[in-house]
Structure formats: C-alpha cells, structure tokens
Structure 1
Amino acid sequence: MLKACVLGCSMSLLAVMSSASAQDWTKSKWGPNDEIGAANYMKPELVKSAAQLVKTGKTYALGIPVGADTPAYPPRGFKITVVQPGQAGNPGLGPNHATYNDDMLNGWVGVGSQMDGLGHLGVNHVYYNGNKIADFGDPTGLKKLGIDKVPPLVTRGVLLDMAAYYKTDVVKEGTAFNVKEIEEVAKAQGIEIRQGDVVLFHTGWLSLLGKDDKRYNAGEPGLGAEGAKYLTSKGVVAVGADTWGVEVLPFETGNVFEIHQILLAMNGTYILENMDTSELAKDKGYEFLFVLGQPRFKGGVQSMINPVAIR
C-alpha cells in the first residue's frame, strides 16, 4: 500500500531491470494496446483446472474488515457514515412505514485489503506498457489502466507459509523473500508455482493489527527484487501477502518501492495487499481456487477487495 506517486529511477535501477531481460519493459508482449497485463494468462482451461482443487467446499475470506482505525500508508484514511435520507422525525415511507439505512464512504481506496492496478506505480512517469502519465492521467479517473479494466481473477492460488519456514509466528521486518526462500518453501510444501497462479505469502504480520500498529506500519518482511523477477518469469497473475506493501521494508537497496515497479510497471503483475492468510496457513491450504471480482471503479488506481479462497 503506497500513495499514488511518481518515482524517479536511478541508472543503477535501470541496469538491474534491463539485466533481467533483453526485452524493453515498456513494451508488453501482449501488444501495444494491452491494459490488463498478466491477467492475459487466465484462460478458460486454467479456470476449469483450478476448479478441480475444490474438495471440501471450505471458503476463506482473504479481506480484512476496514474502519476508521485501520492503519494505512500516510496520508491515507477512511471513514463510513450511515444516514437515513429524508426519514428524520417521521415513521417511514408509505403506509407500511418503510425505513432504511444508507452509507457514505469518505476516504482513500488504498486502505485495508486492496488490489494495486497497473496504473498505480511507474518509473519516472512511465507505467505499464509504456504509458506516460501525461497521456492517460486525469484527476477524474485514469484514461488507461483503470482498475475497471481488470477481468475477474479466477485461478489457482498458492500459499507460501514463510512464518513456518522461519519457525516463527511473525517474520521479522526486513526479511527478504528471494529465489532460495521461495523455492525451498514451495519444495517443503510439495507444490510448484505455475503460469497463471496467484501467489500469496503468509508472514503473520497482519496479527500485529490492533496490538502494535506502530510496528506494523514501520516496516515488514516481504518480496525482494530477485524474488519478484523469479515470480514474474513464472508468469503469475498476482502476488499478495498479509502485509501492507507486499515487498520487503526496509528496502534491500536505496531504490524506493522497486518491487512494485518490477511487478506492476515492468510485468503487469497485480499486487494484493493485507490478505488475511491466517486460516489458510492454519489449515495448510497451500493450493486452492482463488476468486476475485473487484469493485470496478471507472478509471480507478486501486480497489478494496475481499478475495475468496476455496478448498
């Protein structure tokens, strides 16, 4: 979770990224007009295959409840107001006295469990598929790469239990997950990461909410640059975690939100933040059917979400 800002890019960062692939990252392999990135991996055959993972019918809500007290990346905030329009001082509407409640939201979309769209973070004003912010940015909604363009994500989900790997309830902040860690956890769990997967990391970090919010917001364990390149090379659709930013903080180097750049801008891979993976980890639910139909805010950068894992 990070504010919609534009980040500069050093020559060292560009060198790191270009070394991963000879392909120009500003050109999508799905063509110059592509706006959905790694969601292109999802085909009907993939959905049918993922549906075969449902054995018990048990469902897991991966989103967390969101309220005014939910910690968020500064200056983000959120509140809800419940109203009864035109009903004050009267018994209700019509002879049957119908009364109702409505609610109004006032706040940032990037609070709590959320999906980062491809228009969220770029490199020196350039976003996924070479789109320049001057060409598609608008205060009333992005003209391209809006969260409304993302199709339903229905695919195989994979959980990597990093807390179990490190033999701890909460993985320490600053712990980076790279190729060695990812491969060792996958092997220990007896699973493989495949094209079209949604990969989630369980770190126990979300358990700090309401207990140590200051620590929760100050840093986190998470994906490193090498690990991000590894997962995108596998062709995953999205990467998520039970942390507010998915990537490791403090950062591995002086580069700021580099993993967001690798995933979103350079590979069109979605980011899922503040995923409640606790019950999945408890049940050792290492693979499952993942289902997400996000609110389609037209031209939106992000979306609050509550994905469902089904086993």
Structure 2
Amino acid sequence: MTRLSSALIGAALSAVLCAVATAQSDRPEVGVSPWGPDDETGRLNLMTPASQAAILGQISGAAPYDLSVEYFIGMPSWQAAGDPHYRIWMTHTPHGTGVDDPLGVGHVMNDHVSYTGAAVSMYTHTGTHIDALVHFGLNGEVWNGFTAEEHLGDRGWRVGGAEALPPIVARGVLIDLPAFLEVDQLADGHRISRGELVGALTAQNVTLADGDVVLIRTGRMQVYEDAQAYMQNPPGLGMEAARFLIEEAGAMVVGADNLSFEAFPSEDPANYVPVHTYLLAQQGAPILELVFLEALARDQVYEFAFIGAGLRLRGADAAPMRPLAFPLR
C-alpha cells in the first residue's frame, strides 16, 4: 500500500469518525428540569394555587362534559404491538355464589343477598389515559435524566411513575380541526401542521396561554366502536405542530381523541416516535389520548375548566383517567 493510499484511507476514516461523532452529538437528548434535579412532573409545575383558583372561579355551574370513553371487550387497543387488550370477567355472580357459598354465609343468606363482583385486565394505555413522563425516553434516559438502569425495578419506575402526576386543574382549550377544515374527520395518516392549529384557533377566536391543557379533535372518535377503523392509520400531530404548542403557545398538557397522538410514518428516520419523545422526554409535557371531544365540538365549547386525575398506579408509565370539562361563565 502506498503512502498516498494510506493517507487517503486515513483521511476517509477520520472523516467517517468525525461524521459519526457529529451525528451522535446532534442527537436529541432528554430535558433537564428547570424545577430541580428531583422533578418528576415536568410542565405540570406550571399549575399554581393562583392558576387553579382563577379557572375554578370562572366555572358557570352548568353540567360538566365527560371527556372519557367507555371500556368494553373489543375496544381499540395496542394488540398489534403485543400489548394485552381489555378484559372483564365475573368473579362472583348471584347464582354462582349461591352454589359455591364462598363466604360461608349459607344458602338461605345467598338466596336473600345477591353478590356480583368483577375483575379487569388491560394495558395501561387503554381507553382515556395520561402518559407519564417515563413512557418514552432518549439514549437510555427519561425526563430529567432519570435512567432505567438506576430507577427502574421489577415493580415499575421508582421515579416519574403515574402516581407522581398530581390532579390537573387548569384552563382547557379544544382545537376542532375537522370544523376548521370543513371535513367530517381528518383523513387517514393526516399530519397536523402548525398552520392548521393556528388557523383553527383564529377561526374559534381563542388564544392559547401558558399552562393550558390543549385538546385536539381529529374526529376519529366517531368510529371508536369499530376498533379496526379507529386504529387504521389514524391522523396525528406533526413535529412542527408539537413545537408550536409547547415553545410558542406554552401548553402544559396536550392531548387528542386518537390513540397514537402523533402521525405515522415518522418524520425522523432516527426516531420512530419523535413527537412522543419531544413532549415527554425533552419538554416534560404529559400526553392525553383517547379523549372524548365530540360533545364539546358539537356545542362549540372551546374554552373550559379542565379537571382530571389519573389512577395512582405506582411505577406505571400511564394511567386511566376520567377528565371533565366544566363550561365557563
């Protein structure tokens, strides 16, 4: 091998190593919380006693809107990813209890007092739920630099689990994209842009503010009873729109009526869920999915008091939630 060829190979190798190092240094990293090294809740710190009192003081007293879905066998779920679907089964029935007498109270008592009981099993991201900040991470870390190696045990996350998320009391805003785009629902795979969010907000005469819970209607909930149609290549948020909601509009929590929240295929060849990692791992913004928004859209209720709390599932990456939207005066 000549000196020239050796020099060329060396130069080429150096260029490759430099490119690899540059690519690695350019990789997005998890966010470091401005609320301190122990912070597990991210942008939920934007809630304050004053902000909660302000929105609660505007409630009109009208009946709230239930923003949750019903759970039933055959409902939409992530079975394609290998996750368990929703199941409910009876553990006690009036006739069976009468036959088995499991509590030893006697057949006369069982004939008089009927006993019904049930158990459920499901993936934590089933039905209306909130994603905890540990749900997705980058480079072996989740929000605020917590790592699976140090903070994940056999019983779940020791930090940042669903139990760490406080009840949410905040101003809620609905962005109704089908109404703005004059369609029944967004098309399969539609990637929501910044311009569409801005246009819909302008049409609704609504301005976002720091600390809002922003809920985006795609119209997908209209086919919720048909799991295959609901899960088939749903519309979702694009990165440009996600950055707008957090960096420009100051949203605290974001959510939608679909199950993936973001659109697929990914815009980033190096990340199959860039919106999730941006929101959860980099910005500390929890995500709500499968939020029922049809009644709010029907009544054109675009601003409301959002009140909701997930189940305190210790160490879990998500939790079922039953959020409510209270109309304002």
TM-score when normalising by structure 2: 0.83
Letter in 1 for 2:54: S
| SS of equivalent to 2:278 | helix
Where structure 1 has 5 or more consecutive residues not aligned to the other structure, the ranges are 1-9, 18-23
Q: Select 1:249's aligned residue among 243, 264, 270.
A: 264
Q: What residue is the counterpart of 2:289 in the other structure?
A: 273
5 Å matches for 1:93-172?
Answer: 93=105, 97-172=112-187
- Larger % of helix: which? 2
Tell me which moved more, 229-238 or 197-206: 229-238
The answer on whether the counterparts of 1:59 and 1:309 sit within 8 Å (CA) in structure 2 is: yes
In the TM superposition, 1:118-267 aligns within 5 A as 118-211=133-226, 213-233=227-247, 234-254=249-269, 255-267=271-283
- Measure the CA separation in 1 of the matches of 2:22 and 2:71: 39
Task: Give the superposition deviation at 1:249.
Answer: 2.3
Cα deviation 1:91-149 (Å, max 9, x = unaligned): 98488643332221222121111111011111132100011111111231211101001
The answer for unaligned runs of 5 or more in structure 2 is 1-20
Aligned residue for 2:97? 87
Structure 1 stretches of at least 4 aligned residues deviating more than 6 Å after TM superposition: 10-14
Counterpart CA distance in 2 for 1:79 and 1:113 is: 16
What is the CA distance between 1:41 and its match in structure 2? 0.4
Identity of aligned residues (%): 29
Q: If you compute each CA radius of gyration, which structure gives the higher value, 1 or 2? A: 2
Residue in structure 2 matched with residue 285 of structure 1 by the alignment = 301
Matched, 1:78 2:86: yes
For residue 157 of structure 2, give the secondary structure of its aligned residue in structure 1: coil
CA distance in 2, matches of 1:34, 1:180: 33
Residues in 2 aligned to 1:13 and 1:91: alpha-carbon distance in whole angstroms: 61
1:46 aligns with 51
**Structure 1 Cα separation of the partners of residues 23 and 181 of structure 2:** 31
Alpha carbons of structure 1 residues 177 and 14: separation in structure 2 relative to 1, 3 Å: farther
Question: Which secondary structure state, in structure 2, belongs to the residue aligned with residue 226 of structure 1?
Answer: helix
The answer to whether the 8 Å contact 1:219/1:250 transfers is: no
Change (3 A) 1:11 1:132: farther
Q: 1:265 to 1:150 in 2, by over 3 A?
A: same
Match of 1:31 among 12, 24, 36: 36
Q: CA RMSD in A?
A: 2.4
Count of residues paired in the alignment: 295
When residues 135 and 91 of structure 1 are mapped into structure 2, their CA distance, relative to the original with a 3 A threshold, is closer
- 1:297 maps to 2:279: no
What is the distance in 1 between the residues matched to 2:140 and 2:30?
A: 14
